[in-house]
Amino acid sequence: MSAHDDDVIGKAYDSRLMKRLLGYLRPYLGQASLALAAIITGSVLQLAPPYLTRLAIDNYIAHRDVSGLARIAWLYLAVLLASFSLEYLQTWTMQLTGQRIMYDLRMEIYRHLQRLDLRFYDRNPVGRLMTRVTSDVDVLNDLFTAGVVAIFGDVFTLAGIMIVMLGMNWKLALASFVVLPLIVVVTQWFRRNVRESYRVVRGWIARINAFLQENLTGMSTVQLFRREGRNFEKFDEINRAHRDANVDSIFYYAVFYPAIELVGALAASIIIWFGGLDVMSGTLTVGVLVAFLQYSARFYRPISDMSEKFNVLQAAMASSERIFTLLDTPVAVTSSSSPVVPARPLRGHIVFDHVWFAYNGEDWVLKDVSFEVRPGQRVGLVGATGSGKTTIINLLLRFYDVQKGRILVDGVDIRQLEIATVRQMFALVLQDVHLFSGTVGENIRLGERSIADDAVRRAADAVRAGRFIDELPARYDAPVAERGATFSTGQKQLLSFARALAFDRRVLILDEATSSVDTETEHVIREALGVLMDGRTTLAIAHRLSTIQDMDRILVLHKGVLRESGTHQQLLAQRGIYFRLYQLQFKDAVPRSA
Amino acid sequence: MGPPSAGSSPWRRLLPYFTRHTRALGFGVGSIVLTTTIQLLGPWVLKYAVDDLQHGVTRGKLGYYAALLFAVSAGGGLFRFLMRRSIIGVSREIEYDLRNDFFAHLQRMPPEYFRARRTGDLMSRATNDLNAVRMMAGPSIMYASQTTLVFVVGMALMLSIDARLTLIGLLPLPLVSISVKLFGSAIHRRFERIQEQLAEMSAVAQENLSGVRVVRAYGQESAELEKFHRANEEYVSRNRGLIRLQGAFYPSMTLFLGFGALLVLWQGSRDVIQGRITVGQLVAFNAYLVMLSWPMIAFGWVTNMLQRGFASWGRMLEILDAPPTIADPPDPVWLDPASVAGRIEIRGLSYTYDAQPVLQDINVTVEPGQTAAIVGPTGSGKSTLLQLLVRLIDPPPGTVRIDGVDVRDLPLSTLRRTVSVAPQEPFLFSDTIEANIAFAPEIASLPPEARRAAVERAAADARLDKDLADFPKGYDTLVGERGITLSGGQKQRTALARALVTDPRVLILDDALSAVDTYTEEEILERLRRVRQGRTCLIVAHRISTVRDADLILVLNAGRIVERGTHDELVALDGQYAELHRKQLLEEELEHLGEEGERGEPGETVVGPNFSSA
């Protein structure tokens, strides 16, 4: 669970955040006002039943006035129906508005995420970003639907009850108000403890889940190493802690409900005692006493609701803080404000001119790298892991910007071009093929509607992907499972080739797959690569040197420095880094006995 | 204890979980009876108080009533407290027992079982379904019994006041139960549809965020935004459906309960005027009506809870009732894992999976201390063969023997103590590197120094030591989600160390060095030559250098052994092995060409170092 760092709960109210949050309510002011009006009217109507009871007892039962009773009954009915309609109206408008706001927020976050640069993605794991888009936004939903507006309702209800009671008999009213602080204390005590124990319980649930997840995925390992017993003990430990945390939290519930009832009973006793004395002395009617009993029973709801809202507010502040931090993250890589528009389509003449780059501070990953790729050339990049190969690709696509030096495309610094213009020049094929859920066809053309069905098919056929696609029941409409789980590594590879070919870009950027596939697939992939590179400028990161031996030029990177450059034969003749890399890779084939 | 045997009714299967807590449950039910009875006295006190107020009352009586009201509530509260603690407490105990049983059961299931189902599904049964079962076992029992009691006794008391008024007042109450029931299940359905869409929307975002490079490189930002927009819109629209119901649910309950109060007020007041009942009785009657409204709500709620819990229990039983297909034999043969010689004998082994023959008529004997290597193209059955040996898959009886004993006759723990495996795709736990290497229980339970020493030895043999030197925390470095991400090669070497540390009699390397770079692999092989002394080894590999020293090399193709012999014999045989060998030699020649600076035609003669099937 990525939620651990998100568990921190801060203050319940922050005017800066609140103001910004309320800004989202602006487009829906009409609905919000309607809901507010409904909630206030509704809370006034809620005051009616005990009062009507009082009237029935004091005025009509006492005077045996049946027609008066009928009037009260009709009034009562009208109040019930009106309450029903108002409550429905309020829930409907408010919840719907909440949903619309959530929708707006989600879109805003998502839109921003589509613009943020890769540095941001490096720092923020996908799980955390998902939390922003889903759970954090949902927490805010509660704020709008259950929080801001409903709190008015609670205040009005409580104030209304107190005013009516004061109006009927102020002395008795004041006496019964004694229980109000008690309700507040009990409720606060309960909320605080329950919140805390809920947090503890949730922590254990997360650990149970993590443990299960890991043990189920790694069950063969557990079984092979006979760890069933020990791991069961570990599980039992977590499971037990979870149970105990839950049992602890039962205590609070077990105390709370009886305690609230006891406070209610205290109110009733007070009213019976003081009110009864007044009735004896003739200063109070039985009807008022009964109405007081009924009103006092209604103290609890608004107080408990308000205390619940405190939690909602607190959670909402924490979530909105996180959301706004994301929204306020500036986009580091942007298009130039006055972009150079190339006179003719870019040909893909690439120049790295004394490029320096670091992901962190002065930790240079590329040091003063210069090279040139002319249109139509095929250039291979080799070097050990961490030598900076991938970084070169990242910079070329403007996933990041260089710190020193510059990258030129057709003589123009790529930072002076529109980002889209730059990226439109490249087709990127990555080691780990990323497939989207959707159909096979959609995975080739992505969202590009201009790529027609037959173009998709042609591309797939050209890179030898057509054969296995045609064997699928729905062919190009066949669904792709999560992360393409139903396809083999080789098939995914071919799909990504088809994608690159369908987009028909000037420059092919290839990060060769390291995962081994069987020989036949290997052969097909190599053929397909040939098709893909045909007539295209190619920049390829190679892990198997055999792939790039026939490249026009090979660049050898070592610890961020471009150390060697030349053809395969030239580099071998140099007997430098490339030679050693090559030796390493084929060492196995040297017969020991020879 | 395990769950009772399969086949009996689901309720019967749940029963033992309750009987373990009979006392606490009895205590809880007793508390329910007491709290309900005491609570129902409250309105009765009110009735006397109000009536006495009308017909003259003394201060003494007034104080008595006030104190009585308070005492009733305190007494009722006490037992309510005890009721909740015992009943809900028991439900947590049951949840705990069930979860342990569930996990223990899964631990006995073979890998095939996990392949056939998604982890997420099993997880959901261990959490969501289990929670629904707990709700059924705890809260629903508590509320059901409380509800029934309040209903029966409360109704009796109301009837004792006035039968006709009771009838009239109760008229709208069934509407409450029905609406809770109907709304409850409809809301639940819609809620599930919303959850589905939430999952869908999350999937869209997840794919987009994890594929950010592809999205950006292909300029798909707006298409992706559109995709998310659609998912988001659908989510809102499904929510709208829920709101429509939920918006009506609570108000309608208030409305129906209000109808009851209205009817009682109307009819009751006329009854008072007619002298059928007193004002006190009317007030008490009202109070009872309020007390009854909760059971009416709970009734619908409890029904839903029981339904859901029962369905969930069925889903859990599906898992609990699945028999472990690979288990200890009923009459195991006892071998001492430490003194096993390590003679592996495979006789007439054929294995079929999904009607596809994976292995056909395999016959081979590996003598104690020998190293056997298996080569062959992907899908030729190499890994299957190794998995059969440690019973991750079950071989047909009598086909696979260690020291003459059928592996199926050995206790699983003995077999797996004897044979250690380093797999191609190792699984590491999010724990320290040391804990991952010292994974086998006999190593894990060593005293810290001895354990560290053993781990260090194994890590050195697996050449993990040089990587560890770079980690700031060395062996205490956390790996996995909360720690560092190891490279494929580092993972494989950790797994190799994990296999070596147990000092097994039989060592299996299932392409265990495929992600290790060539140089390091060479170093490891060097060390393994020493490690292999005196143990039987089975090695699956792609590179000739890995297998050429083996005492026996098997070439597997399409599930059959097509060639067998030593390196020299196989080269002389001039078959598939020799072909592989030739290709790797060719690479080497290429290198020499390069050395001499001659212009070759590398592009045409390039061949991968992989095994090529003829």
Q: Return the domain boundaries, chain B.
A: 1-162+299-325, 173-276, 342-581
pLDDT of A483: 65
Residue A118 contacts by C-beta under 8 Å, 6 or more apart in sequence? A333, A394, A399, A400, B212, B213, B216
End-to-end CA distance of chain A: 56
Interface test with B, best of A76, A226, A569 (most B CBs within 10 A): A226
CA-based nearest residue in chain B for residue A66: B270
In terms of CA atoms, which chain B residue is nearest residue A438? B204
Please check the confidence at residue B592 and state whether its pLDDT lies above 60: no
For residue B219, which residues of chain A lie inside 8 Å, CB to CB? 420, 423-424
The reported pLDDT for the residue numbered B58 is: 82
Distance from CA of B441 to the nearest CA of A (A): 6
Question: Which residue in A225, A253, A510 has the most chain B C-beta atoms within 10 A of its own C-beta, making it the best mutation to test that interface?
Answer: A225
Least CA distance to A591: which residue of chain B? Answer: B585
Query: Nearest-CA distance from A126 to chain B in Å?
Result: 6
A546 part of contact set with chain B, CB < 8 Å:
yes
Quick check: A546 and B261 CB within 8 A?
Answer: no
Among A368, A369, A373, CA closest to A346: A373
Chain-centre distance of CA B63, in angstroms? Answer: 60
Domain B342-581, second-level architecture: 3-Layer(aba) Sandwich (3.40)
For the segment B537-564, the average pLDDT, to the nearest whole number, is: 87
- Between the alpha carbon of residue B9 and those of residues B1, B14, B106, B131, B324, the distances in Å are 19, 9, 21, 20, 20
Residues A412 and A465 in one domain: no
B206 min Cα distance to partner chain A (Å): 7
pLDDT in the model for residue B372: 92
Return the CA Rg of chain A.
Answer: 36
Residues 6+ apart with CB under 8 A from B88: A250, A253, A254, B138, B139, B142
Alpha helices in B321-432 (DSSP H): 382-389, 412-418
Place of tokens 């405190």: A310
Same domain, A448 and A347: no
The pLDDT confidence band at residue A586, using thresholds 50, 70 and 90, is low
Would you state the pLDDT for residue B91?
Answer: 92
CA angle centred on A393, ends A388 and A399, rounded to 5°: 110
Residue of B nearest to A522 (CA): B608
Q: Classify strands A378-382 and A438-439 as parallel, antiparallel or unpaired.
A: unpaired
User: DSSP characters for B521-588?
Assistant: HHHHHHHHHHHTTTSEEEEE-SSHHHHTT-SEEEEEETTEEEEEE-HHHHHHHTSHHHHHHHHHHHHH
Residue A216 falls inside a structural domain: yes
d(CA A453, CA A1): 41
- Distance to chain B for A389, nearest Cα, Å: 16
Instruction: Give contacts of A 211-270 with B, CB under 8 A.
Output: 212-232, 235-236, 239-240, 242-243, 246-247, 250-251, 253-255, 257-259, 261-262, 264-266, 268-270
- CA B463 to chain A, closest CA, distance in angstroms equals 17
Beta-strand ranges (E) seen in A96-252 are: none
pLDDT of residue B587: 56
- pLDDT tens digits, residue range B103-159? 999 988 888 888 777 777 788 788 888 988 998 888 888 888 888 888 888 888 888
Please tell me if residue B597 touches chain A, with a CB cutoff of 8 Å.
yes
Tell whether A304 is covered by a domain. no
CB spacing of A95 vs B247 below 8 angstroms = yes
- Do A205 and A163 belong to one domain? no
Amino acid letter for position A107: M
CA-to-CA separations, B577 to A521, B18, B346, B554, B609, in angstroms, rounded: 20, 64, 22, 9, 13
B470 CB within 8 Å of a chain A CB: no
The answer to whether residues A105 and A135 belong to one domain is: yes
With 60 as the cut, is the pLDDT of residue A192 above it? yes
Nearest to B541 by CA among B560, B518, B558: B518
B53–A289: do the CB atoms touch at under 8 Å?
yes
In B392-451, the residues whose Cβ lies within 8 Å of chain A are: 392, 412-413, 416-417, 420-421, 426-430, 439-441, 444
B536-540: strand order across its sheet: B419-422, B506-510, B536-540, B371-375, B552-557, B560-565
B609 to A568: CB separation less than 8 angstroms, yes or no: no
Q: Does the pTM exceed 0.90?
A: no
d(CA B121, CA B101): 17
The full DSSP string for B409-436 is: GS-HHHHHHHEEEE-SS----SSBHHHH
Question: Looking at the structure, do residues A391 and A247 belong to the same domain, yes or no?
Answer: no
State the nearest Cα–Cα gap between B361 and chain A, in angstroms.
24
* Residues forming beta bridges with residue A413, ordered by sequence position: A408
- DSSP structure class, residue B115: H
Give the gap in angstroms from C-alpha A94 to the nearest C-alpha of chain B: 10
Quick one: closest CA in B to A502, which residue? B218
Identify the pLDDT of residue B3: 46
Could you tell me the pLDDT band of residue B7, with boundaries at 50, 70 and 90?
low
* Phi-psi category of residue A434: left, alpha or beta, with phi > 0 → left and psi -120 to 50 → alpha: beta
Does A419 lie in the same domain as A552? yes
d(CA B419, CA B6): 33
Mean pLDDT for the stretch of residues B540-546: 79
Instruction: Find the domain containing A62 and state its range.
Output: 12-169+318-331
CA distance B479 to A214: 13
**Is A307 a member of any domain?**
no
Instruction: Find out whether B186 and A122 touch, Cβ atoms under 8 Å.
Output: no
**A165, A176: one domain:** no
* CATH number of the CATH domain containing A553: 3.40.50.300
Evaluate whether B376 touches B557 at the Cβ level (below 8 Å). Answer: yes
Residues of B in contact with A253 (CB under 8 A): 84, 88
pLDDT tens-digit readout, A132-185: 887 788 888 877 777 667 787 888 888 999 999 999 888 899 988 988 899 889
Kindly list the distances between the CA atom of residue B239 and the CA atoms of A98, A116, A556, B27, B471, in Å, as whole numbers in the listed order.
10, 30, 56, 43, 49
Is residue A108 in a domain? yes
Same domain, A409 and A481: no
User: According to DSSP H, which parts of A218-271 are helical?
Assistant: 219-224, 228-270
Number of domains chain A is built from: 4
- Cα–Cα distance for residue pair A10/A313, rounded to 1 Å: 10
Same-domain pairing of A60 and A108:
yes
CB-based contacts of B141: which residues, under 8 Å, 6+ apart? B87, B91
User: Quick one: residue A346, left, alpha or beta (phi over 0 = left, psi -120 to 50 = alpha)?
Assistant: beta
pLDDT range class, residue B469, cuts 50, 70, 90: confident
A154 neighbors A313 (Cβ within 8 angstroms): no
What pLDDT score was predicted for residue B609? Answer: 35
ipTM exceeding cut-off 0.85 for this assembly:
no
Any A CB within 8 A of B270 CB: yes
- B78, B518, B612 member nearest A519 (Cβ): B612
How many beta-carbon pairs below 8 A join chains A and B? 432
The pLDDT > 70 percentage for chain B reads 92
- Inform me whether the pLDDT recorded for B612 exceeds 80: no
Q: Report pLDDT digits (tens) over A337-393.
A: 777 787 777 788 888 888 898 887 777 888 888 888 888 888 888 877 667 788 888
> Residue A455 phi/psi, 5° resolution?
-65, -40
| Neighbouring residues of A343: CB distance < 8 A, sequence distance ≥ 6 | none
**Angle at CA of residue B36, ends B35 and B37, nearest 5°:** 95
pLDDT at A6: 44
A586 contacts B588? CB cut-off 8 A:
yes
Which residue of chain B comes nearest to A570, CA vs CA? B597
B598 band by pLDDT with thresholds 50, 70 and 90: very low
Three-state DSSP class for residue B510: strand
Round to whole Å and give the CA distance between B183 and A64.
42
In a domain, A288, yes or no: no
Would you say how long chain B is, in residues? 614
Same domain, A26 and A96: yes
Distance of alpha carbon B264 from alpha carbon B602, whole angstroms: 100
What SS3 state is found at A56? helix
Please report, for residues A80, A410, B236, the alpha-carbon distance to residue A343 in angstroms, rounded to integers and kept in the order given.
74, 11, 46
Q: Return the amino acid letter for B315.
A: R
Q: Does B254 touch chain A (CB under 8 A)?
A: yes
pLDDT digits (tens, 9 = 90+) for B232-254: 899 999 988 888 888 888 888 88
What pLDDT does A550 receive?
78
Chain B within 8 Å of A305 (Cβ-Cβ)?
no
Q: Residue B111 class from Cβ within 10 Å (0-12 exposed, 13-18 middle, 19+ buried)?
A: middle
Which of A123, A417, A588 to mutate: most B Cβ within 10 Å? A588
- In angstroms, the CA B583 to CA B576 distance is 11
Residue A497 lies in a domain: yes
Paired tokens of A237: 């430990």
A491 domain residue, yes or no: yes
User: Least CA distance to B223: which residue of chain A?
Assistant: A447
| Other CB atoms within 10 A of residue A146 CB | 17
Domain B1-162+299-325 has CATH 3.40.630.30: no
